[in-house]
Amino acid sequence: MGHDKLRKFAENETFSCLLQPDASAVLDKSGDPSLGLRLHDHPIKGHWNSSMFRKDQPIVLELGCGKGEYTIDLSKRVPDRNYIGVDIKGARLWRGAKTATEEGLQNVAFLRTRIEFIEAFFGPGEVSEIWLTFSDPQLKSENSRLTSPLFLERYRKFLKPGGIIHLKTDSRFLHEYSKAVALENGLTILDSTVDLYGDIPAAGRSSALYEVQTFYEKMFLSQGYKITYLEFTIDHEGPYAHPSDFDADYWRSIDGPRRFVHSPTSSQR
């Protein structure tokens, strides 16, 4: 491990806005592996506003936040929300946590964990919105996609009724797959576009959608790729169904080989 990473990891321990529990704190290995992932609740579950933030405000998550630039920017624009960026890469979270600390931002926190463990950290109705910004489209692994029925079931356990999911991506594959999941399950689609910057802004669409950009968004825009956006609620009773009419091969071909050229090993590309 390089000296710079070690320095960042050491400094991460000093940031009060960064929670980075060991996986053993939430992962239950005592059960039957065939029954799937078993988790223990972390003590902060249901207590984020009282334990981490100074104000009791609606909580917004960014899953796969990378360096946290989107989380930081949104927190400044909308101070009446509490924002939590989630990622597994400590060296990347260092940047967001350091910025939040240096600028004294009171409505920002970061959580270092695998997104598969997310339900161990948030209680029923504790979260109002989720942002998925340039998530890995997982072209070959449906259950690894952050908008798959498996993940929607996890989100439902802690999203408020009518809670919103925002998906911003350059991947037409992930956009169309997510829309197909929403339609299959009768979810309410609040907004959808396959060319965010080419469309006339929809009435009520936040300016932050255009003005707040991640590193990868800037990169793909500079290369001429279109950015898509999907906003929907997960108001659904019963199990989530997989989309029956999504042509994965077709949309995989639309995304093309660049998906493998630019995708780093993270939940956020």
Which residue, 122, 131, 246, is CA-closest to 183?
246
CA atoms of 133 and 130, how far apart (whole Å): 10
Which residue, 21, 20, 83, is CA-closest to 49?
83
Q: Is 73 a catalytic residue?
A: no
* H or E segment to which residue 124 belongs: none
Residue 224 has φ and ψ, to the nearest 5°, of 90, 10
3-state secondary structure at position 30: coil
Catalytic choice (136, 191, 195, 249): 136
* E strand spans, the chain: 18-19, 59-63, 82-87, 108-112, 127-133, 159-169, 189-193, 228-233
CA 22 to chain centre: 20
CA atoms of 94 and 13, how far apart (whole Å): 10
- Backbone φ/ψ region at 135: left (φ over 0), alpha (ψ -120 to 50), beta: beta
Q: What tokens were used for 154?
A: 């996890």
Residue 27 has φ and ψ, to the nearest 5°, of -90, 125
Which residues are the active-site residues? Answer: 136
